[in-house]
Amino acid sequence: MLNYIKESFSQVFGNPPTRPQKGQQSEELLAIYQAKRGALSKADLEAAHLEHHGTFFRKWQRRRWITLILVNVLFLVSYKFDVQLLEGAMTASRFVGFHFADLNSALQVMLAYKHVVLNLVIGTTTVFVMWLLLGGRTFCSWACPYHLLSEWAEYLHLWLVDKKVIRNHTFHRKTRSVFYVIFALLAIVTGYTVFETISPTGILSRAIIYGPGVALIWVGVLLLFEVFYSRRAWCRYVCPIGVTYAAVGTLSPLRVVYNAEACHHEGDCRKVCLVPHVLDLTIRGRAHDIDQDVSADCTRCGMCVDVCPTDSLNYRFKGLDKFL
């Protein structure tokens, strides 16, 4: 558990995944790697892909899109019809009387105003417990409205790259840690929640509920940047929300688990992953154990689970999986 937490925090703050050193991998794991050399031909893998895609392909993606849309529509319906079921917006809300406060937004408010109110403590505690159980960065892929738009923009970006109209540009992953510190310092120094002003998550949530405003221009600029220059740039290199929830994810029992024995290292999982460094363990020789938890920087989006033709990546609820 401690090794998992240490490795997760290391990846969250921009360090590459730790590679196993000589002698750290078990004989059983090394034997698995050796036995699979040339075990499946390219034709075998393509056949496995076709069979897999015809049955389960994008199962989790569909479930995630439906959940994400329903959560955000519920805010709109509650406001429009004044049913007081889910009041507020994604950054701060109240669900049937229970206060909810986005952890990163609450942190920004505390830093800016140097004051903590009871409702904020209740709201952050409620959200902390909820995302602790659901998996930390699960918020990013299962609730954040900008994530969905960015995901759709990503398809256009990849199509343009494939047609050689543009090329993708990447930045150092530690950039996100730098922005995390910058936004925290800005809140402390200015007494103003600077990040909340430019956060596309909050802007889109309020636009869905209360109607569009001029701030949507900023969201459009971000999407255009991601379409024509850098794939998923905001989520990968800027947004501090993911860092905050990844910290929660280190304690979460809900994880994606990788099985090295089933894997044939074709790499499709890393191609679809928003944070592909978390799946470096799927590269031949990179796993530490036969069964290994994917780090807490994973968004639990399920794309890798959907696309894997050999069922080597799956959701597990630690402690309960033996009963399921």
pLDDT tens for 103-149 read 999 999 999 988 888 888 888 999 999 899 988 899 999 999 999 99
Q: Please name the residue that has the structure tokens 């929660």.
A: 248
φ and ψ at residue 302, rounded to 5 degrees: 85, 0
CB atoms within 10 A of CB 238: 22
CB 265 within 8 A of CB 284: yes
User: Per the structure block, which two tokens stand in for 91?
Assistant: 């950054």
CB 142 within 8 A of CB 300: yes
End-to-end CA distance of the chain: 21
Side chain identity, residue 225: F
pLDDT tens for 226-283 read 999 999 999 999 999 999 999 999 999 999 999 999 898 888 899 999 899 999 999 9
Gap between the Cα atoms of 93 and 95, Å rounded:
7
Q: pTM of this prediction?
A: 0.89
pLDDT tier for residue 319 given thresholds of 50, 70 and 90: confident
pLDDT for 323: 45
